[in-house]
Amino acid sequence: MCRRVLVTGSSGFIGIPLAGRLEAAGCQVIRHAQADGDIASCSLRDRRIDHVFHLAARTSVEESWTSPVPFYATNVVGTANVAEFCRSQSASLTMISSYVYGAPRFLPISEEHPVAAFNPYGHSKLLAEEVCRYYARQFHINTTVIRPFNVYGPGQNESFLIPTLLKQVLDPGIQEISIADDRPRRDYLFIDDFLDLLLCTMQPAGFAIFNAGSGSSFSARELAEIMLHISGRAMPVVSRGEFRPREVLDVVADCRKAKDVLGWEPQVPLSDGIRRTIEARVALQAGVEQTAANG
């Protein structure tokens, strides 16, 4: 797999390990992070690229409600900029989408489920998908769109649910785990499984869309209880009863298409993924403390 690959969003939670996996597989990786220029307007230049993984995006659902225009600029215009670059290079493309199904009409959710803009972020991703679809059909850019549900693992931002819960579980000064709402259930996929799927998309033909999930859903309470069991701690898990309007109570991905077409299916059970995330977090903290001790 010796190819020249561009990774946008290369400094992010997914971009960093993806670039590492690509290099380990023999690829020459060109990284593009926010510091290298606005993905919506910068020139990506002629670099003889064979494939692009387009990860760069604005992702905060709450922020998209208060300031939607930057989401359309980055997620839609930025995707058009990347697609045009692929056209100039005759390069294939993998684009990461998300939050496009709205309130589920049936479970598990297949790629045939109707799409619906539930918030400006989701709407921007739907439009980005349409950009990819158009470039695939009109300019013959071989493109794969991946729709991940909830990816987790070491290095994820503290604003996400699993890191938020882990921070409480591993804090010796905390006597109970506090969660906002214990009703919603979500489908969680470990990052290593997600990277395996991305690597399967490097030789696309035409235009295709694939879900990325585990096929099971868990509540925040169940996540916290798994973490407590793994860490050997015992404390109550308390819901604050903060019910959001129009909350989606259950989401499960149907990933049979990825298995049938790409031969991919997740390998890491939730308990193992959480264990590995805890171990990485503990090791990182120990390293920080050792560095501080060494002065």
pLDDT at 279 over 90: yes
pLDDT confidence bin for 212, thresholds 50/70/90: very high
pLDDT digits (tens, 9 = 90+) for 92-144: 999 999 999 999 999 999 999 999 988 999 999 999 999 999 999 999 999 99
pLDDT of 169 > 80? The answer is yes
d(CA 15, CA 9): 6
**The pLDDT value given to residue 284:** 84
| 284 touches 140 (CB < 8 A) | no
Least confident residue range of 39-53, 85-99, 131-145: 39-53
Portion of the chain with pLDDT greater than 90, in percent: 88
CA-to-CA distance for 161 and 156, rounded, in angstroms?
10
Report pLDDT for 1: 54
Give me the pLDDT at residue 289, please.
72
**Is it the case that residue 291 has pLDDT exceeding 80?**
no
Tens-digit pLDDT profile for residues 244-273? 888 899 999 999 999 999 999 999 999 999
Q: What is the pLDDT of residue 45?
A: 76
Residues 223, 161: contact at Cβ < 8 Å? yes
* Domains, the chain: 4-219+244-283 (3.40.50.720)
Say what the pLDDT of residue 8 is. 98
Q: Do strands 185-186 and 92-96 pair parallel, antiparallel, or not at all (unpaired)?
A: unpaired
- Position 184 confidence tier, pLDDT thresholds 50, 70, 90: very high
| Mean pLDDT, the chain, whole residue set | 95
Does the structure show a pLDDT above 80 at 286?
no
